[in-house]
Amino acid sequence: MKLAAVNPQTIELAAQLLRQGKLVAMPTETVYGLGADASNSVAVAKIFAAKGRPADHPLIVHLAYASQIKEWAENIPDSAWQLAEKFWPGPLTMILNKKASVPLAVTGGQATVALRVPDNPVALWLLRVFGGGIAAPSANRFGRISPTLAQHVAEELGDAVDCILDGGACTVGVESTIIDLTDSQPTILRPGRITRTQLEAVLKTEVALKSQHKIRAPGMLAAHYAPCTPAYLCVTETLLALLEEQSAEGKRIGVLVFSNDLAGLPCQHSLQLPQQSEAYEAALYAALRELDALQLDSILVEQPPENESWSAVNDRLSKATL
C-alpha cells in the first residue's frame, strides 16, 4: 500500500473511499487509526478482518464536532458535554448509551458506544469532508503495538488498507483515555494522557479507575500492545543483573533505558527514552517496534516512575511485558 501525502485531493479521495465502504488509515494525535464509515456495517466488518480482531470487541467512533454526539448517543449526561467542552478535540474517549441507529457491528453488540473528537489536523479535515462518523481502532494487528507513524501501518496492514494518509508522527503517542459515563460514577477504563485528576477537576466528583472491567475491551487484556520479542519490565538493579546474566549466556538483549545512570550501558541495542512523561509516551511505541524488529532474544524495559503522570506509560508497559 502506497502512503498518501496529505492534500485536498487525497483527503477528497479518502472521503470517497470511506463512502464506498473501503478502509482508510488516518493519523490522530494518539496513534494511527484504521477507519471505516461507522454507519456501514459491511465496511466496519472489514476492519475486524484486516486487524484479525474478534468481532465482539467494540470500536471508537471518531467525530469532527462535539455536537455530533447527539447523532450517536442518547440519555447524554451533562458530564459528557462538560468533558467535551474541556478536552475535545483531544485524547479522551467517552462511553455513552448508543442510539438505536448505531450499528451493533461498531459496538461489538453492546448497548453503549465509544465517541471521540481527535486533535489532529488531518483527521479533522477528513472527518469534516466525509461528514459522518469514522469507526477506527488503532491500525495494528490485534494485540500488537499501536502505530505512531504511517510507515508502521504500511508494514503491519499493507494491502488490507485502501489508503494510508501520512500525517507524520503522532504527537501524543499512546491511545486515548477512555471514560465510561453510563454509570452513576464515571469510570476510567483505559488510562491515557488525560489523567484522573484532570477529569475529576472538571466533573467535580470522584472518578473510579477500573483495572479489570466487565465489558470486553481489548486494551484491557493482559497481553496487549505487545512486541513479538519477550519483554520484561524491571527496576534498574534487576535489569542490570538480567542483562549480565543473559549476555553471559550469549543472548542478544535490547534495553529501553529510562534513567541517566544507564545511559552508557554496555549493550549493543539500548535506546534511551525521555525522562519527561509526555515525551516518553510519544517515543515509546516506535522504540518498542525498533527493538522488536531486531528479533532479539529479549527486551528489558527499565521501570519509569510510577506516579499519576506516568499512568498511561505504566499501563501500556505492564501489558507489553511478560
State the residues that interact with ligand TXA by CB under 6 A: 28, 30-31, 33, 57-60, 91, 93, 95, 107, 110, 112-114, 116, 118, 136-138, 175-176, 178, 189-190, 215, 217-219
- How is residue 48 written as a grid cell? 475486524
Quick check: helix, strand or coil at residue 191? coil
Percent helix, percent strand, percent coil in the chain, to nearest 5? 40, 20, 45
Q: Which residue has the cell 455530533?
A: 68
Q: Which does 29 bind (CB under 5 to 8 A by kind): Mg ion, ligand TXA, none?
A: none
Name the closest residue to Mg ion (Cβ).
138
- Say if residues 83 and 90 touch (Cβ distance below 8 Å): no
Contact call for residue 138 and Mg ion (CB under 5 A): yes
- As a whole number of angstroms, the distance between CA 109 and CA 124 comes to 27
Is 25 or 296 the residue whose CB approaches Mg ion more closely?
25
- How is residue 63 written as a grid cell? 467525530
What angle, 0 to 180 degrees and rounded to 10, lies between the N-to-C axes of helices 121-130 and 8-19? 50
Q: Which does 215 bind (CB under 5 to 8 A by kind): ligand TXA, Mg ion, none?
A: ligand TXA
- As a whole number of angstroms, the distance between CA 263 and CA 160 comes to 40
Smallest separation (angstroms) from Mg ion to the CB of 138:
3
- Say if residues 140 and 158 touch (Cβ distance below 8 Å): no
Is 272 or 314 the residue whose CB approaches ligand TXA more closely?
314
Q: How many residues does the chain have?
A: 322
- As a whole number of angstroms, the distance between CA 121 and CA 29 comes to 9
Is 221 or 234 the residue whose CB approaches ligand TXA more closely?
221
Smallest separation (angstroms) from Mg ion to the CB of 263:
32
Is 34 or 256 the residue whose CB approaches ligand TXA more closely?
34
Smallest separation (angstroms) from ligand TXA to the CB of 251:
32
Per CB under 5 A, the segment of 13-21, 121-129, 137-145, 271-279 that binds Mg ion is: 137-145
Name the closest residue to ligand TXA (Cβ).
137
Smallest separation (angstroms) from Mg ion to the CB of 224:
7
Smallest separation (angstroms) from Mg ion to the CB of 72:
20
Per CB under 5 A, the segment of 22-30, 63-71, 133-141, 162-170 that binds Mg ion is: 133-141
- As a whole number of angstroms, the distance between CA 240 and CA 94 comes to 41
Close Cβ partners of 66 (under 8 Å, ≥ 6 residues apart): 81, 84, 85, 88, 117
Smallest separation (angstroms) from ligand TXA to the CB of 302:
25
Binding interface with Mg ion (CB under 5 A): 138
